[in-house]
């Protein structure tokens, strides 16, 4: 299939590389020339703009950072001269903006499949993501083979393209809350005299385990490397969306907003563009201890 991909950043580049490796012809566009060059070197082809890309392909995948950008790009790729029939939004756009995008595209004869992903960059590289989809079943069936190139667990949640987005912000909010709670508890354990690695080993075969203790903290905090896989500001954006959508539906939330508040504090301290586990450093500073250590040279 010849298809377009807009957004080839930290996770989008893995989508491009996997699709090219599966013998698809992939036309890409990103505002970052360095990001484009990186995937062109692996076999993708570059478009000069969103509109240029839309004039050449019928299926477009989006991997974009914030809802407003998704709405803007959807408008640009559906202008006169576009060949696009189906848009697959792999971004975390949230249900409210997804409804706006769906209405805009539908008015121009284009189907939207909301298909946010979860699993991080490591699983994106391996094609092992979870993909949460919603949209017209015929459109979903058409793009399902593409989704199975980038994901391992594909869920179809119904005809409403916002359903996958709702599922995604619920997922990310639960991750944020469990991650921050885990950081607090692990720093407490170090202060009390427990060994950092042993704590993780115990938790990860016990009921306190989570994605944070199984993957994120061992991979990113234990050796103090803090590689940027998903930034603090993007996680905060997702949690805030979840809080806003829950409020619209009249669903009370008392615990999860505390995670949003801590992430907002971390952003105010300059952590917005750092990985979302980096703010453990604030908890460590308040406690006067450090979890893990960098390898000795």
Q: Report whether pLDDT(279) > 80.
A: yes
Q: Report whether pLDDT(234) > 90.
A: yes
Show the tokens assigned to 242.
């979840």
Mean pLDDT of the chain: 96
When mean pLDDT is compared across 92-106, 117-131, 163-177, 258-272, the lowest value belongs to 117-131
Residue 66's alpha-carbon distances to 62, 171, 172, 190, in angstroms, are 11, 17, 14, 37
What is the rounded average pLDDT of the residues 246-250? 96
Domain boundary assignment for the chain:
2-160, 165-287
Residues labelled as active-site residues: 168
* Confidence band, pLDDT 50/70/90 cuts, at residue 102: very high
Show the tokens assigned to 281.
């450093």
pLDDT of residue 122: 85
SS3 125: helix
What is the rounded average pLDDT of the residues 249-260? 97
Fold of 165-287: 1.10.1040
Residue 87's alpha-carbon distances to 26, 63, 196, 248, in angstroms, are 14, 11, 45, 27
Q: Report whether pLDDT(296) > 90.
A: no
pLDDT of residue 121: 85
198-232 confidence digits (pLDDT tens): 999 999 999 999 999 999 999 999 999 999 989 99
Task: In whole angstroms, give the CA distance from residue 39 to residue 20.
Answer: 9
pLDDT of residue 159: 97
Task: In whole angstroms, give the CA distance from residue 211 to residue 220.
Answer: 12
Superfamily of domain 2-160: NAD(P)-binding Rossmann-like Domain (3.40.50.720)
Strand order in the sheet with 45-46: 45-46, 25-29, 2-6, 59-62, 86-89, 111-114
């Amino acid at each position: 299939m010849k298809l377009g991909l807009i957004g080839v950043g930290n996770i989008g580049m893995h989508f491009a590389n996997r699709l090219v490796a599966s013998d698809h012809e992939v036309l890409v566009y990103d505002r970052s020339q360095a990001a484009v060059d990186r995937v062109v070197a692996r076999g993708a082809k570059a478009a000069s703009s969103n509109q240029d890309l839309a004039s050449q392909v019928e299926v477009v995948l989006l991997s974009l950072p914030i809802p407003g950008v998704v709405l803007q790009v959807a408008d640009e790729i559906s202008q006169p001269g576009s060949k696009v029939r189906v848009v697959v939004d792999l971004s975390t756009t949230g249900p409210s903006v997804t409804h706006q995008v769906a209405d805009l595209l539908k008015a121009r004869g284009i189907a939207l499949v909301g298909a946010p992903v979860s699993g991080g960059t490591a699983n994106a590289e391996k094609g092992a993501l979870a993909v949460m989809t919603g949209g017209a079943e015929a459109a979903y069936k058409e793009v399902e083979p593409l989704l199975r190139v980038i994901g391992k667990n594909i869920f179809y949640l119904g005809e409403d393209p916002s359903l996958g987005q709702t599922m995604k912000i619920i997922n990310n909010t639960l991750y944020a809350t469990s991650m921050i709670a885990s950081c607090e508890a692990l720093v407490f354990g170090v202060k009390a005299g427990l060994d950092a690695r042993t704590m993780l080993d115990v938790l990860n075969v016990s009921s306190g385990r989570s994605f944070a203790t199984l993957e994120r903290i061992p991979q990113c905090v234990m050796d103090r490397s803090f590689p940027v896989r998903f930034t603090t500001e993007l996680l905060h954006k997702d949690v805030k969306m979840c809080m806003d959508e829950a409020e619209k539906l009249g669903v009370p939330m008392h615990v999860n907003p505390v995670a949003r508040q801590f992430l907002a504090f971390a952003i105010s301290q300059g952590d917005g563009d750092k990985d979302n586990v980096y703010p453990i450093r604030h908890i460590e500073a308040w406690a006067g201890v450090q979890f893990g250590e960098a390898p000795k040279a």
